[in-house]
């Protein structure tokens, strides 16, 4: 299970550290920190908070947002992050995935894909952190998923935008199709609203992890209860 923490600049780092500690104490297996304003503004994530998070966290965490180069990734990994996640910059320059995998190994390189169901099928979107610029990237989701792996992605986070924020459940159909094309760990994102949704996505789409943010932030689901529920449902989880 992966916990996403989305934040923008104005949120104080103290808030991030408190959240990080809280989710770690509750049993999250991994945290993903999304600096969602990084890419649209053309700047990289500010490194200082990464080191401070690394100081308090003893579980793996991933940094997403504005990683555009080997140097950006190096700073974040040296500060203590386990992985970096690339999304828009990889769409603009796919060789970035190879460069990161060559330098740090595929296990450090997550490719995040924001996918929208359209009349032409599932399409990749970019700049999703900025409503003004967010738009189609002129790529089919499953094509990009295959290409990202060929280029060295060690993990794929597939965010199904139609489901995102609905709390109606993960997009099982899309995730199951993605699973067929995905030889590396696949993490489901978008749509979690109940504990059953988590059980369902592990069972029906055979994903390796499920990411959720709002249900945890709002306190609708508590991680310890969720993990106990999943274990009772026969899904292997760390407790």
Rounded distance between C-alpha atoms, residue 170 and residue 178, angstroms: 13
Other beta carbons within 10 angstroms of residue 56's beta carbon come to 12
Identify which of residues 105 and 121 has a Cβ nearer to another protein in the complex: 105
134 touching another protein, by CB under 8 A: no
Binding another protein (rule: CB under 8 A), the pick from 3, 24, 125, 227 is 24
**Contact by Cβ (8 Å): 235, 199:** yes
232 touching another protein, by CB under 8 A: no
Rounded distance between C-alpha atoms, residue 82 and residue 53, angstroms: 12
207 alpha-carbon distance from chain centroid: 13
171 to 230, contacts with another protein by CB under 8 A? 183-185, 208
Binding another protein (rule: CB under 8 A), the pick from 82, 114, 164, 171 is 82
Binding another protein (rule: CB under 8 A), the pick from 35, 114, 155, 171 is 155
29 touching another protein, by CB under 8 A: yes
Binding another protein (rule: CB under 8 A), the pick from 51, 70, 101, 176 is 51
Q: Which of 68, 28, 73, 70 is nearest to 50 (CA)?
A: 73
Rounded distance between C-alpha atoms, residue 194 and residue 107, angstroms: 30
Other beta carbons within 10 angstroms of residue 204's beta carbon come to 14
User: Least distance from C-beta 208 to another protein, angstroms?
Assistant: 7
Please give the residue ranges that form the binding site for another protein (CB under 8 A).
24, 29, 51, 54-55, 58-60, 77-80, 82, 104-108, 154-155, 183-185, 208, 238
């Amino acid at each position: 299970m992966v916990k996403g923490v989305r934040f923008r600049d104005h949120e104080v780092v103290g808030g991030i550290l408190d959240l990080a500690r809280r989710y770690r104490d509750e049993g999250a297996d991994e945290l993903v920190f999304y600096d969602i304003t990084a890419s649209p503004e053309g700047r990289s994530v500010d490194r200082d908070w990464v080191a401070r998070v690394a100081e308090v966290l003893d579980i793996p965490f991933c940094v997403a947002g504005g990683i555009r180069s080997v140097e950006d990734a190096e700073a974040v990994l040296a500060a203590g992050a386990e992985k970096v996640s690339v999304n828009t910059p990889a769409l603009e320059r796919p060789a970035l995935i190879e460069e990161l995998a060559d330098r740090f190994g595929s296990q450090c390189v997550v490719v995040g894909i924001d996918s929208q169901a359209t009349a032409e099928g599932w399409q990749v979107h970019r700049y999703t952190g900025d409503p003004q610029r967010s738009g189609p990237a002129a790529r089919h989701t499953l094509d990009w998923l295959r290409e990202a792996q060929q280029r060295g992605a060690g993990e794929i986070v597939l965010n199904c935008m139609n489901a995102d924020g609905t709390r109606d459940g993960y997009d099982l159909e899309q995730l199951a199709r993605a699973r067929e094309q995905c030889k590396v760990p696949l993490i489901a994102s978008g749509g979690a609203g109940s504990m059953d949704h988590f059980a369902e996505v592990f069972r029906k789409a055979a994903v390796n992890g499920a990411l959720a943010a709002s249900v945890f932030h709002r306190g609708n689901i508590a991680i310890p209860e969720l993990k106990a529920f999943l274990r009772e449902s026969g899904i292997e989880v760390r407790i």
